[in-house]
Amino acid sequence: MFVYVKKYSEGFLSVKLPYSVKNVEKVRKINGRKWIQSDKIWVVPDNEDTTKLLSRLFGKGNVFFENYEYDKDTMMALKDELKLKNYSVKTQKVYLGHVRRLLQYHKKCIDVIDRDDIRSYLLELVNQDKSPAYIDQAVSAIKFLYINVKKCSDDDFDINRPKREKKLPSVLNASEVFKIIESVDNLKHKAIIMLIYSAGLRVSEAAFLKIEDIDSKRNLIHIKQAKGKKDRYTLLSNATLEILRQYVKVYKPKYWLFEGQKGESHITVRTIQRVFERAALKAGVRKKVTVHTLRHSFATHLLENGTDLRYIQELLGHESPITTEIYTHVSEKDFGKIQSPLDRILNSRI
């Protein structure tokens, strides 16, 4: 579903979208909206608050602020191709958003945007201090459009990608992990944090877990259709299993392991992130950490305890061992055996 927004009159935008009761309810949340019966179209105030609200209500990847009608077909073709190639819903939204922003920047039809236009747009992203990862993602989205939808060759799409930063992940030590867990009083929230750390989960994987994914007999967790549309198994620790049993007994989830507030769907990723942020703050952790830091800590602690890197790769669901090898750079296992030359000099003087 696409929502098309364009100039209607001085101070107003027109909003064209498929009819449904849900869509009408969303539009009614916009202050100053009007239904123009003669044109059979919604009109909303032309201001920044309205455009941001439209993106929140309908999703950034679905709202197309157009100055021209002739790129509807391109956006529809792009969305269809992403679906046919079985890209995740999240990736579809991201790619559509990048292409939409390219069109908005140049205010041209996609058929007349050339290589120089693409380069100037990417340079603008650099000037806006967008991260190399963000720009690399934009290149991937635009390349997908030109190669898979416009049927250009790889040689025609000769766009250099930005050099990726090589940052080491932030890692918690065992004491910090313990303090974070102990700082949480809510049983459900404690179970979530323990599960993510003990199994090395991504936050979205924890949010999407179903009750049936917990294999208590084999002490395994079945992660289904995770990043890269891959299934895998990871560890279910005894301590986590025990708190999950307490949690299920009290909260009685029916389908999703961790239900949202209304019980109709799973808990949101943002809710889990807020739970962790509050826990880390309460625990007095001064490092810059996110809930994903628990996954990094899981991998690093396994490596320090002697677990083979190949097993860690499988548990994390990494496609390449190169991705997993980053944890060898943050592990204290080998560094702890190396004596600083300063210590050696001072000790020899004692």
- Which residues carry out catalysis? 202, 227, 292, 295, 318, 327
Give the 3-state secondary structure of residue 144: helix
Residue 291 near residue 164 (C-beta atoms within 8 A): no
Q: Which is it for strands 3-9 and 63-65: parallel, antiparallel or unpaired?
A: parallel
Which residues does 248 contact at the CB level (< 8 Å), separation at least 6?
Answer: 211
d(CA 195, CA 294): 10
Q: What is the dihedral of CA 326, 331, 333, 336, to 10 degrees?
A: 120
Residue 331 near residue 304 (C-beta atoms within 8 A): yes
Long-range Cβ contact pairs of 266-270 (< 8 A, separation 24 or more)? 266/207, 266/208, 266/209, 267/192, 267/207, 268/207, 269/203, 269/204, 269/207
| φ and ψ at residue 85, rounded to 5 degrees | -85, 10
**Neighbour order of strands in the sheet with 34-36:** 34-36, 41-45, 12-16, 3-9, 63-65
Q: Annotate 232-268 with DSSP letters as a single string.
A: EEEE--HHHHHHHHHHHHHH--SSBSSB-TTSSSBPP
Element (H, E) at 189: helix 187-199
Q: What are the Cα distances from residue 331, in Å, to 158, 196, 343?
A: 39, 20, 21
Q: How many residues make up the chain in this entry?
A: 350
